[in-house]
Structure 1
């Protein structure tokens, strides 16, 4: 178990600092809406991860490989990301213009935790690359864990636990920025987040339209970066 834990912790760190839409949305949510709101969003992200892990574990390798590399799923996820980013960009701009015209203080909802949970779940779930990540770990570490259910639960639980602990530290760090957030800065941050989401969607679209441009499989990258148990 100790060896499994030592192998899982670095993966949790890697996942927590993996730069992507969820990373920036989590920091923005914590800074603007507070730690509890960010924690609700993060729980949604983790639940989506658990769903992906279960899919990867209970499905056959042949089916998983087909799903993971299906260009249509990358295109679908990319379209959703781009659409979400564009809508957020337009909505944010309208809200800021309305604020300027009314010269009123922007009010921020802090108690819609269910909506934030769903947002975190969907933001993570529509990214087919996340399924590839967990599939790669199943393929690489599954045999080393002897596909033992107890070891698998402990191993992946340790990864998600490490990820959550680091995210909590990130939330409190981002929360300290709250006092420095003016309506204009909030607008700038949200615009940056929307642009990052759009770029992420474009990357997914590129991977779906030009799948052969990806020269390395995810499993090879994992094997080179992470030591064996």
Structure 2
């Protein structure tokens, strides 16, 4: 069991620093709204990961393979991300901050559930996350003899490590709120919105031009060894 835990920790580190819309929104939430808000958001993200892991474990690999490669799902998920990013960008563009505005405020109890839902949905619409967890099940499942108890320990350790690292990220990002003027907050939010739109466009491209992107990835893999 200890061996499975130690094997899971590096994977949790990798997951915590995997760049994506969730990564940037988590930092934004921590810097602007504080620790409790970021933790609430992160719990929603973890719940989405648990749902994906459950789907990957209880479904057949053949069924999941067809789902994760379905172009329509990439297009749908990308469109949701791009729409969310665009709406957020336009909203921030209209809401020009005043120097006296207090962006950093205490979190209301009613906001906690909303932040969890936001984290869950932002992670859940990214169909690439399903592919990621499916890949881990396929790679590590046989090594763990597909034993339910060992799989539970292994992936629980991955998620716990991921969550602990996120806490440190949140604490570091929270320190930024003392340096965030209303103008910097405004620019920061717009930048995050643009990044979410970019991730959405990438997902849509993955659905519309899967073969072209696969060829591009293969070319990059061929070039990398030559340069190393």
**Alignment gaps of 5+ in structure 1:** 217-229
CA distance, structure 2, for counterparts of residue 125 and residue 2 of structure 1: 30
- What is the Cα deviation at residue 106 of structure 1? 3.7
Cα shift readout 1:90-112 (whole Å, capped 9, x = no counterpart): 0011112xx34xx6414455221
Structure 1 CA distance for aligned equivalents of residues 52 and 9 of structure 2:
19
Distance 1:50 1:88 in 2: 27
- Match of 1:74, SS state, is helix
| 3-state SS, counterpart of residue 85 of structure 2 | helix
| Residue in structure 2 matched with residue 58 of structure 1 by the alignment | 58
User: Secondary structure of 1:143's partner?
Assistant: helix
Aligned ranges 1:19-38 → 2 under 5 Å: 19-38=19-38
Alpha-carbon RMSD across the aligned residues, in angstroms, is 1.5
Deviation at 1:5, TM superposition (A): 1.4
Aligned to 2:188: 189
Query: Which 4+ residue blocks in structure 1 deviate beyond 3 angstroms?
Result: 106-109
Question: 1:2, CA displacement in angstroms?
Answer: 2.1
TM-score by length of 2: 0.90
List alignment gaps of at least 5 residues for structure 2.
216-228
Q: Distance in 2 between matches of 1:215 and 1:127?
A: 18
After superposition, where does 1:1-80 map in structure 2 within 5 Å? 1-80=1-80
* Deviation string, structure 1 residues 132-157 (Cα, Å, up to 9, x no partner): 00000000111111111110110000
The residue matched to 1:181 in structure 2 has which SS?
coil
In structure 2, what is the Cα distance between the partners aligned to 1:77 and 1:206? 11
